[in-house]
Amino acid sequence: MTMRVAIVSAETEIFSGEADMVVATARFGEIGIKPKHAPLLAALKPGHIRLLYDNNPNEEKIFYVSSGYLEVQPDCVTILADTAMRADDLDEEKAKEALAKAKALLHDHKGSDIDYSKALAELAEASAQLAILHKHLKSKERH
């Protein structure tokens, strides 16, 4: 049994199709959604969206979302993200640069010139992108 899944960013639709299970990084922890799940609305934090398929356990589609919302209806899951990208489209060098920049901002602050919430958000996003890249690469090596 499958469910419809749509992943939409502010710019475009990233994915529209079927999946047997959706795993997402919600603000309160990682959640898994199967068909016929009770209706749910959850805020997302920077992290992954994984689409899993029962008929092919080796197949997995991985996406990065910066933040947004996940809405569950019994036969569909909709993810509305501020930024969403396929794991294959993530740029490791850019993520490393963003991580270093955010760490430097937090470490070298002088007075109140720094926007802590923005620096922490950038740190969380870059860290999530790198974690997804590493998990995605390991997954590719196994298959």
Do residues 97 and 52 both lie within one domain? no
Q: Residue 56's domain spans which residues?
A: 3-87
The confidence score (pLDDT) of residue 52 equals 94
Fill in the DSSP letter of residue 87.
G
Do residues 9 and 43 both lie within one domain? yes
Q: Confirm if 101 and 84 have CB atoms less than 8 A apart.
A: no
Q: Confirm if 59 and 53 have CB atoms less than 8 A apart.
A: yes
Q: In whole angstroms, give the CA distance from residue 124 to residue 40.
A: 25
The confidence score (pLDDT) of residue 2 equals 92
Do residues 52 and 74 both lie within one domain? yes
Tell me the mean pLDDT per 10 residues along the chain, length 143: 93 93 93 95 93 86 91 94 81 72 68 63 72 64 52
The confidence score (pLDDT) of residue 59 equals 82
Do residues 81 and 63 both lie within one domain? yes
The confidence score (pLDDT) of residue 5 equals 97
Q: Confirm if 21 and 38 have CB atoms less than 8 A apart.
A: no
Looking at 87, 107, 123, the residue that finishes a domain is 87
Do residues 101 and 133 both lie within one domain? yes
The confidence score (pLDDT) of residue 104 equals 72
Looking at 68, 87, 106, the residue that finishes a domain is 87
The confidence score (pLDDT) of residue 137 equals 59
Do residues 113 and 80 both lie within one domain? no
Do residues 46 and 102 both lie within one domain? no
When divided into structural domains, the chain yields a total of 2
Q: What pTM was estimated for this model as a whole?
A: 0.73
Do residues 102 and 75 both lie within one domain? no
Do residues 71 and 18 both lie within one domain? yes
The confidence score (pLDDT) of residue 109 equals 63
Q: What is the CATH number of the domain that holds 40?
A: 2.60.15.10
The confidence score (pLDDT) of residue 10 equals 84
Q: What is the largest CA-CA distance in the chain?
A: 56
The confidence score (pLDDT) of residue 19 equals 96
Do residues 77 and 31 both lie within one domain? yes
Do residues 100 and 130 both lie within one domain? yes
Do residues 83 and 99 both lie within one domain? no
